[in-house]
């Protein structure tokens, strides 16, 4: 069947859906970095993305020139964003990869493009086409009841956010596909069935 994936790109196995979801939630809680099999892919570093850096990220801030950052709009003092060049590339990206990899911001440590494949949220911005191509390669296993429950819960979370975005407090409704997908992971608990009591 032609699923639109160029043959030379192929599919990339993720593993079980529920295991991935747990790992993603741990990364968002700051308990671990995202463990993504990026290989030579640096699509997310050259897709016109602003990189948020919090005031507590002293290591990243010490390794990224201050002139490459600016105050993050609508965020408390000390939060900054790093922009990108005319080609959409992060200024820290070199031909051999991230020049501050060991010191990269939390945004980069937790970025996991598999979240789009998991949630079904589409990246419709042409500037994100390289990420969208990578997203199209990921394949989850949904082989167990846990995997199926996790997938359904995440789909429900996306639907809920879309249906209630207008009722959310000012500034909290997701403005980008990334924020929508990540928010769905953040609230997925509400849509998972309660554990069975013995
Ligand atoms: S800081 Fe490094 S990992 Fe983060 S976007 Fe830039 S090049 Fe990529």
Domain ranges of the chain: 7-30+140-198
pLDDT (tens place) for every residue of the chain, 198 residues total:
334 444 446 899 999 999 999 999 999 998 988 889 998 899 999 999 999 999 999 999 999 999 999 999 988 999 999 999 999 999 999 999 999 999 999 999 999 999 999 999 999 888 899 999 999 999 999 999 999 999 999 999 999 999 999 999 887 899 899 999 999 999 999 999 876 666
pLDDT of residue 193: 81
Question: Residue 82 to residues 11, 21, 40, 60, 122: CA-CA distances in angstroms?
Answer: 32, 28, 22, 11, 24
Helices within 165-188 (DSSP H only): 177-186
Pocket test for ligand 1, best of 33, 83, 93, 107 (most atoms within 8 A of CB): 93
Residue nearest to atom 3 of ligand 1 (CA): 108
105 Cα: distance to centroid of ligand 1 (angstroms):
8
Ligand 1 closest atom vs CA 64:
1
Sequence length of the chain is 198
């Amino acid at each position: 069947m032609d699923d639109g994936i160029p043959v030379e790109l192929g599919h990339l196995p993720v593993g079980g859906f529920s295991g991935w979801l747990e790992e993603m939630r741990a990364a968002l809680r700051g308990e671990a970095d995202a463990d993504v099999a990026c290989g030579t892919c640096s699509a997310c570093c050259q897709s016109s993305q602003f990189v948020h850096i919090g005031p507590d990220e002293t290591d990243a801030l010490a390794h990224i020139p201050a002139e490459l950052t600016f105050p993050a709009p609508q965020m408390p003092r000390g939060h900054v964003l790093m922009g990108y060049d005319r080609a959409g590339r992060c200024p820290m990206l070199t031909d051999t990869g991230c020049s501050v990899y060991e010191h990269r911001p939390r945004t980069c440590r937790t970025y996991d493009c598999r979240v789009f494949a998991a949630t079904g949220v589409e990246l419709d911005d042409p500037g994100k086409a390289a990420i969208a191509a990578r997203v199209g390669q990921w394949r989850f296993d949904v082989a167990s009841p846990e995997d199926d429950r996790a997938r359904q819960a995440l789909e429900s979370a996306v639907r809920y956010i879309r249906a209630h975005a207008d009722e959310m407090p000012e500034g909290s409704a997701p403005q980008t596909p990334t924020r929508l997908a990540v928010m769905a992971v953040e609230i997925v608990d509400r849509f998972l069935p309660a554990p069975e009591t013995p």
